[in-house]
């Protein structure tokens, strides 16, 4: 698989955690200043219909890393991760593939891998894990200790409980985790050798909750009352309320949402926006460092997020459901061959797998990944299948069908009803659309399940009389992908009794 690295582009993936697009100026926000991300959008191709098919941190990253949907990876909640031998099982990570093909692969920030310090195809990592995981002794924890500081639980920060996770961080701005990620990224870009191309994954831990900007940034924001109102809850969304409240009362959040007035939601949005502005400044520094690079290689830049955040919409915060607030993500691509403009084409977070590898000149197939369009009017996929521990989703550019394990099912026309207030599932006027989407979802569900068990397959025996499996003491190769890893093994599989 190894290919020459001459003339291959550098590739930079910038991915904040839990960033919804409507909190960026380029996506229409007029209550926040994000000039650097906006500039990137002006210079590249901005996708306005990008979705995270599994809007939870770890499932989203497992699918992005492998190009397989959550049914195929088996990672449906934050309590799961890829099996240790996933590469042998056919779930190849794009980072390992880039590394094998001559790239230096650098990971900076939050990857949310399990274990958190695994290499996962990276040549080197600077690690700053999830903001709630304060006990992880990562590189950022070491940095804080050298400054006489430490990670803080949200409950240790001013106003955390009263603000429902909207607190004020006592850590000075220059030592904030997203600034630290920006510092390490700029240092890497300035110091990296030019003898081979690099892939840099910049993974900001913010603006994920706790919504805890330092006071100096928060004080520069407009009042909470000036932030947009939340999307109203519905009879359907209320079916998730009890679980949402209990999960935040008893889980790592330790926050009480039994009462959630509109001003509290706007306060959360104000704190969240402050965190976004910190990230925007770091993006500007990274873009400047790339522009100042003395290199003949082009640098391709992709900007996205793993999922969104309700921020009070439907009386919730966080993610995990298939509403637009939770599953819609920003996506910007800059560099050859991406034309400048706006695209309404449907794209999935998993599509970055095929996109990054194809731009590196590597042809790879993945179960749920196609390279994103390069032109505003181009379309590369028609549907997205979503899966989490909460349920399943099937959508196209206009319609979204969701089936949840709590019994709720919804059908939304996201063009006519972008706030998802009118569930059309039982409306007889839309029965044909519902039936068609249910059939498509079932087909995709079965395909994902089959792909997710490929490691259990074996070379078929019935029509191959010289197959070793016809003889005693044959050992079935497992995982199945080991069958294809050795030419010697393939050559010997037909010898009587030959274990492979």
**DSSP-assigned letters across all residues of 277-291:** HHHHHHHHHHHHHHH
Give the residue among 338, 368, 415, 266 at the shortest CA–CA distance from 45.
338
Half-sphere exposure of 56 (CA within 13 A, CB side): 21
Identify the H or E element spanning 355. Answer: helix 351-359
pLDDT at 129: 93
For 493, the token pair is: 């599989």
pLDDT at 450: 87
93 and 165 Cβ atoms separated by less than 8 Å: no
pLDDT digits (tens, 9 = 90+) for 285-323: 999 999 999 888 999 999 999 999 999 999 999 999 999
Question: By three-state DSSP, how is residue 229 classified?
Answer: coil
pLDDT at 451: 85
Strands 391-395 and 399-404: antiparallel
For 321, the token pair is: 């459901």
Q: Give the distance between the most distant pair of CA atoms in the chain.
A: 78
Question: Cβ of 450: how many Cβ atoms within 10 Å?
Answer: 13
Domain extents in the chain: 10-382, 392-454, 461-492
DSSP 152: -
419 and 231 Cβ atoms separated by less than 8 Å: yes
Question: By three-state DSSP, how is residue 51 classified?
Answer: strand
pLDDT at 486: 43
150 and 70 Cβ atoms separated by less than 8 Å: no
Phi, psi values for residue 494, rounded to 5°: -85, -5
Question: By three-state DSSP, how is residue 234 classified?
Answer: coil
Give the residue among 374, 313, 307 at the shortest CA–CA distance from 51.
307
Cis peptide before 415 (omega within 30 of 0): no
pLDDT at 495: 37
302 - beta bridge partners?
13, 333
Give the residue among 254, 232, 387, 226 at the shortest CA–CA distance from 325.
232
Strands 341-348 and 45-51: parallel
Radius of gyration for the alpha carbons in the chain, expressed in angstroms and rounded: 23
Size of the chain in residues: 500
Torsion, Cα 32 372 416 60, to 10 degrees, reads -70
Close Cβ partners of 33 (under 8 Å, ≥ 6 residues apart): 25, 277, 280
Give the residue among 78, 113, 77 at the shortest CA–CA distance from 387.
77
CATH of 10-382, one of 3.40.190.10, 3.40.50.720, 3.40.720.10, 1.10.645.10: 3.40.720.10
Close Cβ partners of 344 (under 8 Å, ≥ 6 residues apart): 48, 49, 397
For 339, the token pair is: 């034309």
For 182, the token pair is: 């920006």
Give the residue among 355, 351, 383 at the shortest CA–CA distance from 369.
351
Q: Cα separation of 130 and 111, whole Å? A: 8
pLDDT digits (tens, 9 = 90+) for 373-422: 999 999 999 999 999 999 999 999 999 999 999 999 999 999 999 999 99
326 and 231 Cβ atoms separated by less than 8 Å: no
The mean pLDDT value of the chain amounts to 92
Give the residue among 355, 417, 420 at the shortest CA–CA distance from 381.
355
Give the residue ranges of the chain where pLDDT is below 70. 1-6, 481-500
Angle, nearest 10°, between helix axes 177-191 and 262-291?
10
pLDDT at 1: 39
18 and 307 Cβ atoms separated by less than 8 Å: yes
Torsion, Cα 147 153 156 162, to 10 degrees, reads 140
């Amino acid at each position: 698989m190894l290919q020459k690295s001459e003339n291959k582009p550098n590739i930079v993936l910038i991915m904040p955690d839990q960033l919804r697009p409507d909190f960026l100026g380029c996506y229409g926000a007029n209550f926040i200043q994000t000039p650097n991300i906006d500039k990137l959008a002006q210079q590249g191709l901005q996708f306005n219909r990008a979705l995270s098919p599994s809007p939870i941190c770890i499932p989203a990253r497992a699918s992005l890393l492998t190009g397989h949907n959550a049914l195929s990876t088996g990672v449906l909640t934050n309590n799961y991760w890829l099996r240790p031998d996933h590469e042998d099982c056919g779930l190849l990570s794009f980072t390992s593939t880039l590394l094998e093909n001559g790239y230096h692969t650098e990971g900076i920030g939050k990857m949310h891998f399990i274990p958190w310090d695994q290499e996962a195809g990276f040549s080197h990592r600077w690690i700053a894990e999830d903001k709630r995981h304060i006990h992880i002794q990562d590189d950022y924890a070491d940095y804080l200790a050298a400054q006489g500081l430490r990670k803080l639980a949200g409950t240790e920060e001013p106003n955390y409980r009263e603000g429902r996770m909207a607190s004020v961080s006592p850590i000075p701005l220059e030592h904030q985790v997203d600034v630290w990620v920006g510092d390490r990224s700029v240092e890497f870009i300035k110091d990296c050798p030019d003898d081979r191309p690099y892939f840099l994954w910049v993974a900001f831990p913010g603006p994920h909750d706790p919504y805890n900007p330092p006071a100096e940034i928060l004080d520069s924001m407009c009042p909470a009352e000036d932030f947009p109102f939340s999307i109203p809850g519905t009879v359907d969304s209320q079916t998730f309320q009890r679980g949402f409240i209990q999960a935040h009362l008893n889980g790592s959040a330790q926050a009480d949402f039994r009462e959630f007035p509109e001003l509290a939601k706007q306060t959360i949005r104000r704190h969240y926006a402050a965190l976004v502005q910190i990230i925007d400044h770091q993006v500007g520094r990274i873009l400047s460092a790339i522009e100042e690079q003395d290199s003949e290689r082009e640098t391709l830049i992709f900007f996205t997020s793993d999922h969104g955040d309700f921020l009070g919409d439907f009386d919730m915060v966080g993610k995990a459901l298939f509403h637009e607030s939770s599953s819609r993500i920003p996506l910007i691509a800059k560099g050859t061959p991406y034309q400048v403009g706006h695209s309404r084409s449907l794209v999935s977070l998993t599509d970055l797998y095929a996109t990054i590898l194809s731009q590196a000149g590597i042809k790879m197939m993945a179960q749920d990944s196609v390279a994103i369009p390069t032109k505003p009017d181009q379309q590369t996929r028609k549907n997205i299948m979503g899966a989490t521990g909460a349920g399943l989703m099937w959508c196209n550019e206009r319609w979204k069908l969701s089936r949840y394990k709590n019994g709720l099912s919804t059908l939304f026309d996201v063009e006519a009803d972008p706030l998802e207030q009118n569930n059309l599932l039982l409306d007889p006027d839309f029965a044909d659309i519902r039936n068609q989407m249910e059939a498509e979802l079932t087909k995709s569900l079965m395909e994902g399940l089959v792909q997710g068990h490929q490691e259990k397959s074996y070379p078929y025996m019935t029509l191959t009389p010289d197959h070793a499996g016809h003889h005693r003491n044959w050992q079935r190769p497992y995982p199945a992908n080991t069958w294809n890893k050795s030419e010697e093994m393939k050559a010997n599989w037909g010898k009587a009794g030959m274990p492979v």
